[in-house]
Structure 1
């Protein structure tokens, strides 16, 4: 038996200790461990050894940081551009004086004239001009007046401006600036729309009488055409000096007074002098007013970016889901290393903490790179815009606060994404050290996950049913959509959470139904289906992100299609014709008026119809014999129940509100009263909203005649024979010539053009297009997730691909197999997303606009589905190329 050796006291770590050597220290010396020997150091070393895995994990987070900070840069560029282009109060204005109703009129001012102490009249303007240090002061007026001389209603804004000098907001381009009474200059918009030129005359219709119920005509002459320097001056406007305009309008004072001070005078002192000289006024600096105007313009321009910011949250959420999946795969590839750390004593808690720190580092690096990339792209945008003929202003500099928050936020997102994978990976058994790697798929999940998913699905269904139960009927004006939208968002969130939890269990049944054609195309197709079905957890984690994009984009397109259909109906109701002629006193029109209008070649589709007042219970409604099929935009009219075509005698079409009040639909009977006689009618159709020209019931002409209604028309409608401003102007002159004859009296014409309606339609399309583009970022993140998953899968399945090559599968077949697997992610995501999104879009349409008909854009949805399949397949091209290059010899090697 050998005896244990005791340590030789004559030796030290540095060597033998001789007689003259210094004494050994009392405390033992411990050799410092290399940093790789710690748990955290081991993880850091793994990051340095395989940076490609970290880059794959960080891709989705980098994209999220890029798009978030890109939105910040877009806001900076937009603000800089708007402020650079905006022109409002002239730069020469030092002070702006306005009446302040909140202040009393008491003070020690020098002005003691009579009149309203709060009005900025000529006397107070003169008092301001007398103050020492005031170089110039001009009064401003913001008013307007209807124009006479035409049967078509026209309106002209009126503004006071000196016309020259540093305080002028307009510049003369033609003619002369007005001087004297009843003279105006007009801007280019007024000259173009009302066909004005220097020397033309205008008739202003001004109120008259104590109650303003009368009208007087004021003739004015146009002396010149001006161009306004104000950015927001886009409406027809007339200009004159302040005193001339107050005399023309009969105004008692000015809206505001712009003041230019002497350069030697202190604006603050002059402001106080103005307050003392003219009590009851508010004095602000010109810089303050200009900043307020510019920031208001920026706010209006940035409303669309605010909408973008809302939907960026969706892209960020998708990035977290993709990052969670990639972290799980990467950690599963390192199962042997983690098991070895457990074998030498690392606890699960320390291992999980190290993995979380690793994820945070990856997130911070991704956030920094994404932020720098977005800043670089944003800095290049103004130069690129100038190269292509645009005019965008460069931002003031790097928004440091937003940049730091973006980086820190990306790190936080990475921590959220890595928590669940790190907890799973930290519980690895030390026996796993005997294995090379794990699939990281997670299978279909446990029973607890399935139970939680079913619970979320049930809760989502109950909330959706409640939202459907609360949907209003058309015509119900007391409905508040906020509650319904809240239920919709809550139900949709729970439904998506249920999809995340139940996704692994849905993969194989869906593949069994969807992949039948792919199995028949050869071995590559069958292997692709088997590869996706063999890893349902991984397939679900990627497909769910694709489903999120498909759901939101499909829902947006469906809602847009439905709202566009309703918008066409609304346009048909709000502006069914260019002109609607009614008598000024509500009496019937001349029966020959329609024939006279038809004689003009400038007019087309002249239609006359009658109206009558009927009684519905205790309420009065309007019945008309207007043929709804004769409307110019009649294609936009739709029926909610029944059909609008072939309205037979004894039948009626009812608008939504009255149909809701009566509780009727197509096929029901209604009884109305006309001149105390009952009228029994059958409902042919009900409208989804209001009826044209304010009518509530529409019947054939014979039915209205049989009721005893007058034979003279109540209204005549007509369209311009030619499109465009010139054709409309000629049509206006033809209508005016017809109505202003001595035999016509004082008829009025209301020009109900569709310009405003078209603008609203364009706004709807612009908003929807922007939302779809932003939601496309979700698809971009999903594509990055597909590419990352495919790349990691190729590394993990190297031996599998080598074995397939050894068994005779060619490089092309391996390439097609991996590409088909990635395409299947798009197929699964598209089916799940559209199956979830279409029912919710139907519910959303009913909540937002109950009168809108639900319209399914089949072609657009098919295009979205095909695009998803193509982009996910394209994401797998490079990983498939790497898989196809796998040598058959690796089938017999131990590859990691």
Structure 2
């Protein structure tokens, strides 16, 4: 039996190649994802070593003590005690605080300043160029910060202190950070001497962390000595090993989330590959009816036939796993380059390709298991081939797949009922996350239902899609349409893989475009002003005189400054009374904005629902600093989306935070002004904090970010579509072999080579269009479900169908189908009529 299996593999090598490619692509995606996850973890481990290197003991404020001195921070006196502790070779305080950095263009940007350790062993950065600062008026900046802010060594660097006081330093070096929360958040970073750091805010509270380097003692001994010196009330002491383990656990969780996302797409690709494998073995078993029957006639048992088919699948899975493992390494390298391009590194980064034993085992386990499991049902069908089938001159491979069983229909109905029920339940939920999850699960159940019910859909869809080709292309198209529909199960299995990929692509595309268009409309509704001036640093308000200067510009028709008030229940926006309804347009659901005056407010509908507020009720706003204020609700609004409520700017001035300055300034130009932006920029350019923005620029920025995410998802799910197209090519290739005598007979009856090729191309296009059409219909429908789940009382996502992108997908499916049919059509056309008629 073993020799028979080996001989069969040699005889059908060409037929199994396309299927091996399909499973190899799926394995490559899984392997690439695992290698990427290991590479990210290894990179983070290497970089994290900079933060914890040479740190033998870490002293942190725990915040659990009732002593005010210890809870506030580590005082200079406490730091001095630590330095005098036996076994301590050096100790330096670590801290950071936000500080505006003035870039080369004169505009401020938020950055984090840190004191550089005086002990070289405790410096957590690697010097790149120049040197570290030695004087209080010198500064070093992170390499990425120097690039984005366009700073060069030797030039002055300005940081803004309190009340925008300018602190000038000389740039003496650049450094590379390790992995920490600031790096992972993408923040700019500057380093100063402890004296320079203290000069930014002399009254700043004491430090929160002290790093200790030991000499002549173990880490635990130094920790015990430090605890004895300062006590442990209000402090948390860790050895360097404990600090590293804790940080690694935090970082690995973050990298694991991204890996999980990629694995989800890899699973989709594997499901599609499994469908291709299942379809391939189903066709191969149908084509080998006489061979299997002859084996039964000469003594082969059912179990031997079953094991023989699975052995072929195992060999194919092992071969595909080897290819997929090697390909996955390349996929990982490509994904790392894509990730580098999304950051501010300009595409630069070190590609790491760690291949662990677990990754190798996973590659072979996935490749072989998916292939063998996909071949189980076809292998069972092989055992049912009766020995009498060997007596037939031309076995009909379509007999066993012509009927659709009751079990299939009942299974489809069950999934459909579960899917519809989950969707209805999800749309009725108030929690947005729960609604999305439940509705999404319902759409996936409906997708499974359609896949199971595929054979019943093939006939009607084929008749509709084939009408135009039959009318335009005549006999070849009629034959192609008949071929596509004569074996519904095979056609359904072939198109299901493509349908799944197109469904997910169109679903993501519809939801993304719906969200994008809804946000654009919201920006247009919320920002009727021509320009909005905001602060480059979130915690630095704009000065009041800036609004006065803008109002004095001849090209400006109206200026409306806004303030922000943070209360214990939410945050609120202060606007001038005359700007409401003009430059600020919330939608009123109850009450009237005409009643908005000093001592009153209008609340957002969601805030009103959360707090049980309504027109006529009183809301207490407690800012934490200053006296709480009781404000009467005169209106409930929605659609403005800026805050939990609005009040007049006079009312907001009762709160200390709003009195410090403006959050933004809305600017409306005079009608017909041609150079309005230049006129406004003359006022805003001298201010390092003022950033000029328009609704169009805001939409462009949001759309660009959304398009990047959409392109990344398209690329990930596109692999499943590619595998599905391999499935179509594989099915056509096997069908050409199966229909050799039929093709020869058609040639004998007058069909030309070109018409035979056209027949196979049309058949391929019809199968591709079936999968694409059903997938697009499901994707658009599921998109509507998810947009409804995303909508709530305060924010409604309108369904937007991107017909242009859908047209591109359909055109791509047609082109890919033509390419998939090229080799099978060429093979069919080259077959000799006489040789084809002689096929047994």
Residues 485 and 201 (structure 1), Cα distance of their counterparts in 2 relative to 1, 3 Å cut: closer
Q: Which residue of 2 aligns with 1:110?
A: none
2:22 counterpart residue number: 60
Give distance in 2, aligned partners of 1:493 and 1:199: 55
What is the deviation of 1:799? 0.8
Aligned twin of 1:229 = 176
Q: Does 1:860 align with 2:809?
A: no
Alpha-carbon distance change, 199 to 610 in structure 1, aligned in 2, over 3 angstroms: closer
- The question of whether the paired residues in 1 share the 8 Å contact of 2:61 and 2:236 is answered with yes
Q: Is 1:779 the equivalent of 2:727?
A: no
Deviations 1:430-480 (A, max 9, x none): 211113544257444334145325523641563266247516xxxxxxx21
Bigger Cα displacement from structure 2, 822-831 vs 242-251:
242-251
- Structure 1 segment 371-390 matched on structure 2, within 5 A: 371-375=325-329
1-side partners of 2:826 and 2:797: how far apart? 49
The 1:569/1:259 distance shift into structure 2, 3 A limit, reads farther
Q: Which residue of 2 aligns with 1:657?
A: 605
Contact 1:93-1:286 at 8 Å conserved across structures: yes
Matched, 1:563 2:525: no
2:656 corresponds in structure 1 to: none
Tell me the SS of whatever aligns to 1:853. Answer: coil
Q: Which among 183, 203, 211 is matched to residue 250 of structure 1?
A: 203
The residue aligned with 2:829 is: 884
Question: Does the residue aligned with 1:259 lie in a helix, a strand or coil?
Answer: strand
Are 2:35 and 2:359, in contact at CA under 8 Å, matched by a contact in 1? no
Correspondent of 1:446 among 404, 407, 424: 404
Deviation of 1:47 (Å)? 2.2
Q: Is the 8 A contact 1:178 1:223 kept in 2?
A: no
Contact 1:311 1:774 in 2 (8 A): yes
SS of alignment partner, residue 222 of structure 1: strand
CA distance in 1, matches of 2:588, 2:284: 55
- Pairwise mapping of residues 68-83 of structure 1 onto structure 2 (< 5 A)? 68-81=30-43
CA contact (8 A) 1:609 1:626 kept: no
Match of 1:122 in 2: 76
Give the C-alpha shift of residue 406 in structure 1: 2.1
Q: Could you state the TM-score of these two structures normalised by the residue count of structure 2? A: 0.75
- Number of residues paired by the alignment? 753
CA offsets 1:286-316 (integer angstroms, 9 cap, x no match): 5664676577556546644432211221111
CA distance in 1 between counterparts of 2:115 and 2:700 reads 32
Cα pair 1:655 1:690 within 8 Å, conserved: no
- Greater shift, 717-726 or 221-230, is seen at 717-726
| Aligned equivalent of 2:278 | 324
Show the counterpart of 1:717: 666
Residue 690 of structure 1 aligns with which residue?
640
Confirm or deny: 8 A CA contact 2:157 2:171 kept in the other structure: no
Whether 1:871 aligns to 2:816 is yes
In structure 1, how many angstroms separate the alpha carbons of the residues matched to 2:447 and 2:492?
A: 12
Alpha-carbon distance in structure 2 between the residues aligned to 1:839 and 1:363: 36
SS in 1 for 2:206: coil
After the TM superposition, which of the residue ranges 153-162 and 71-80 deviates more from structure 2?
153-162
How far, CA to CA, are the matches of 2:304 and 2:688 in structure 1? Answer: 87
Aligned-partner Cα distance in 2 for 1:715–1:367: 58
SS in 1 for 2:59: strand
Q: State the Cα RMSD in Å.
A: 5.2
Matched, 1:767 2:709: yes
Q: Which residue of 2 aligns with 1:432?
A: 389
Correspondence for 1:310 among 239, 264, 269: 264
The 5-angstrom pairing of residues 336-735 of structure 1 reads 336-375=290-329, 391-395=348-352, 397-435=354-392, 436-440=394-398, 442-449=400-407, 451-452=409-410, 455-456=413-414, 458-460=416-418, 462-463=420-421, 466-467=424-425, 470=428, 479-519=430-470, 520-569=472-521, 571=523, 577-579=531-533, 597-600=550-553, 606-608=558-560, 626=579, 657=605, 689-691=639-641, 717-718=666-667, 730-731=683-684, 733=686
Cα pair 1:174 1:224 within 8 Å, conserved: no
Task: Find the aligned partners of 2:251 and 2:677 in 1 and give their Cα distance.
Answer: 31
Answer yes or no: is the 8 Å Cα contact 1:331–1:425 preserved in 2.
yes
Q: Is the Cα–Cα contact under 8 Å of residues 314 and 368 in structure 2 kept in the other structure? A: yes
Would the aligned equivalents of 2:89 and 2:214 in 1 still touch at CA under 8 Å?
yes
Deviation at 1:539, TM superposition (A): 1.2
Tell me, yes or no, if structure 1 residue 801 matches structure 2 residue 743: yes
* TM-aligned CA distance change 1:74 to 1:348, over 3 Å: same
The superposition leaves residues 650-692 of structure 1 with CA deviations (integer Å, 9 ceiling, x where unpaired) of 9xxx998279979xxxxxxx99999xxxx999x9xx96x3355
TM-score (norm 1): 0.71
Cα displacement (A) at 1:730:
4.9
Aligned residue in 2 for 1:476? none
Cα distance in 1 between the residues matched to 2:110 and 2:830: 75
Alignment match of 1:134 (pick from 88, 91, 115): 88
User: Does 1:143 find its partner at 2:97?
Assistant: yes
Could you say if the C-alpha distance between residues 274 and 461 of structure 1 is closer, same or farther in structure 2, counting changes exceeding 3 Å?
Answer: closer
- More moved, 867-876 vs 120-129: 120-129
**Paired residues of 1:125 and 1:137 also in contact (CA < 8 A):** yes
Structure 2: how far apart are the matches of 1:452 and 1:725? Answer: 69
Match of residue 817 from structure 1: 759
What is the distance in 2 between the residues matched to 1:659 and 1:101? 32
Q: Which runs of 5+ in 1 are unaligned?
A: 1-35, 106-113, 206-216, 472-478, 582-588, 612-619, 642-646, 663-669, 699-712, 737-748
Contact 1:798-1:883 at 8 Å conserved across structures: yes
Distance 1:124 1:626, change over 3 A: closer
What CA distance in whole angstroms lies between the structure 1 residues aligned with 2:751 and 2:647? 73
Q: How far does residue 810 in structure 1 lie from its aligned partner after superposition? A: 1.9
**SS of residue paired to 2:438:** helix
Q: Which residue of 2 aligns with 1:161?
A: 116
Structure 1 residues 414 and 382 mapped into 2: Cα distance closer, same or farther (>3 Å)? closer
Change (3 A) 1:352 1:159: same
Structure 1 residue 94: Cα displacement:
4.4
Q: Is the 8 A contact 2:60 2:237 kept in 1?
A: yes
Shift of 1:496: 2.4
Q: What SS is found at the alignment partner of 2:162?
A: strand
Change (3 A) 1:319 1:440: farther
Gaps of 5+ in 2: 536-542, 564-571, 596-601, 619-632, 649-661
SS of aligned partner of 2:510: helix
Deviations 1:400-441 (A, max 9, x none): 212112212222212321122122221122211113544257
Which of 744, 748, 773 is residue 831 of structure 1 equivalent to? 773
Change (3 A) 1:222 1:461: closer
1:331–1:128 distance in 2 versus 1, CA, 3 Å: same
| CA gap 1:221/1:172 in 2 versus in 1, 3 angstroms | farther
Give how far 1:527 is off. 1.7
Identify if the C-alpha distance between structure 1 residues 694 and 193 changes in structure 2 by more than 3 Å, giving closer, same or farther.
Answer: farther
> How much has 1:779 moved relative to structure 2?
0.5
On the 8 A contact 1:153/1:751 being kept in 2, the answer is no
Give how far 1:883 is off. 0.6
